[in-house]
Amino acid sequence: MNVAVAIDQIPQDALPSASEAGPAPKRIVVAYGFWIFLLSDIIMFAALFASYAVLVRSTAGGPTGAQLFNQATVAIETACLLVSSYTCGLMSLALNSRRRLGTYLGALITFALGATFLSLEMREFSNMIAIGATPQRSAFLSAFFTLVGCHGLHVALGLIWLIVMMVQVAVFGFAARVQRRLLCFSLFWHALDIVWVGVFTVVYLMGVSL
């Protein structure tokens, strides 16, 4: 018999383990690939965190974190992002049960909270710049604006993505690819909240107290 068939005829074990079950279904492949992307993104943040930690005392005679940071604002930003993570989870539940209204509602509230977070952060940045605490003032401020700004940029991109996804729900309904992409979105959104836990702890709380 020919070789291709002979390869096929090799007897198989009765119950293959996960590593022998052949190519995984698309949902798992896509989500795992996105998971790996998220880990790479977190490593990028790690490099920015490391730079921040190295440069945190390099204020070049300019303002320090303790002088600049407003804990009330940070607390509200944290609450916004945390609750938006929760509402994103609720959106996932609605999505899995194929409830359109629940999906749109969850997305809307998540978007609103994310947008609030961003506007608070932009106000914080512009206030700092107005008093001369610009990223060009010192290495510390360069590192601060880059780390926190990079996170904010990710949030902004996430919000754009969320809008596009809601358009896709409207156009394609709960098609498999829409479900996969929303699964990726929720992974992204939760990961951003995890990064924010690092940011508010290391930058803001340690900045004002240590």
Partner 1 sequence: MNLLGKLDWNAIPLHEPIIMGATAFMVLVVLVVLGFVTAKGAWLYLWREWLTSVDHKRIGAMYCILALVMMLRGFSDAIMIRAQQALAAGGAEGYLPPEHFNQIFSAHGTIMILFMAMPFVVGLMNFAVPLQLGVRDVAFPTLNSVSFWLTASGALLVNISLAVGEFSKATWWGYPPLSELQYSPGVGVDYYLWSLQISGLGTLLAGINFVTTILKMRAPGMSYMRMPVFCWTALAANLLIVAAFPVLTATLAMLALDRYLGFHFFTLEGQGNQMLYSNLFWVWGHPEVYILILPAFGVFSEVMATFSGKPLFGYRSMVAATMAICILSFLVWLHHFFTMGASANVNGFFGVMSMIIALPTGAKVFNWLFTMYGGRVRFSVPVLWSIGFMVTFVIGGMTGVLMAVPPADFQLHNSVFLVAHFHNVAIGGVVFGVMAGYNYWFPKVFGFKLDERWGKASFWCWFVGFYVAFMPLYVLGLMGMTRRMQHYDNLSWQPWLIAAAFGTAIILVGVVCQVVQLVVSIRNREKLRDVTGDPWNGRTLEWATASPPPAWNFAFQPKVAGLDAFWSGKNRAQATKDEPTPTRKYEPVEMPKNSATGFVTAFFAVVIGFALIWHIWWLASVGVFGAFMTLLAFSFRRHSEIEVPAEQIARFERAHQAGVAA
Partner 2 sequence: MTEARHERAPGDRPSREMDASAPSEFLVYTIGLFVAVLLTSTSFWAANTTLLWPGGVFLGLAVLAIAQMGIHLVFFLHITSGPESTNNVLALAFGVLIVFVVVAGTMWITADMNANMMMPSGAPMSMRMQH
- Give the whole-angstrom CA distance, residue 34 versus residue 186: 11
- Give the whole-angstrom CA distance, residue 31 versus residue 116: 28
CA 146 from centroid of its chain's CA atoms: 16
Q: What is the largest CA-CA distance in the chain?
A: 82
DSSP assignments along 145-156, one per residue: HHHHHHHHHHHH
Q: Name which of 52 and 78 has its Cβ closer to partner 1.
A: 52
User: Quick one: which of 84, 92, 138, 179 contacts partner 1 (CB under 8 A)?
Assistant: 138
**Least Cβ distance, residue 200 to partner 2 (angstroms):** 8
Residue 48 is a binding residue for partner 1 (CB under 8 A) = yes
Q: Name which of 30 and 68 has its Cβ closer to partner 2.
A: 30
**Least Cβ distance, residue 135 to partner 1 (angstroms):** 5
Residue whose C-alpha is closest to residue 98's, from 173, 28, 187, 158: 173
For partner 2, which stretch binds (CB under 8 A), given 1-9, 28-36, 112-120, 160-168?
28-36
Residue 170 is a binding residue for partner 2 (CB under 8 A) = no
Determine the angle formed by the axes of helices 139-172 and 26-55, rounding to 10 degrees.
160
Angle at 203 between CA 200 and CA 205, to 5 degrees: 65
Q: Name which of 113 and 178 has its Cβ closer to partner 1.
A: 178
- Give the whole-angstrom CA distance, residue 93 versus residue 86: 11
According to CB under 8 A, which residues from 164 to 193 bind partner 1? 164, 168, 171, 177, 181
- Kindly determine how many residues on this chain lie close enough to bind partner 2 according to the rule CB under 8 A: 57
- 7 to 22, 24, 206: CA distances (angstroms): 15, 21, 61
Residue 32 is a binding residue for partner 2 (CB under 8 A) = yes
Look at the alpha carbons of 128, 131, 135, 137 in this order and tell me if their dihedral is positive or negative: negative
For partner 2, which stretch binds (CB under 8 A), given 39-47, 110-118, 120-128, 145-153?
39-47
Residue 120 is a binding residue for partner 2 (CB under 8 A) = no
Q: Name which of 56 and 126 has its Cβ closer to partner 2.
A: 56
Binding site for partner 2 (CB under 8 A): 15-18, 21-22, 24-25, 27-28, 30-32, 34-36, 39, 42-43, 46-47, 49-51, 53-54, 60, 71, 75, 78-79, 82-83, 85-86, 89-90, 93, 96, 183-184, 186-187, 190-191, 193-194, 197-198, 200-202, 205-206, 208-210
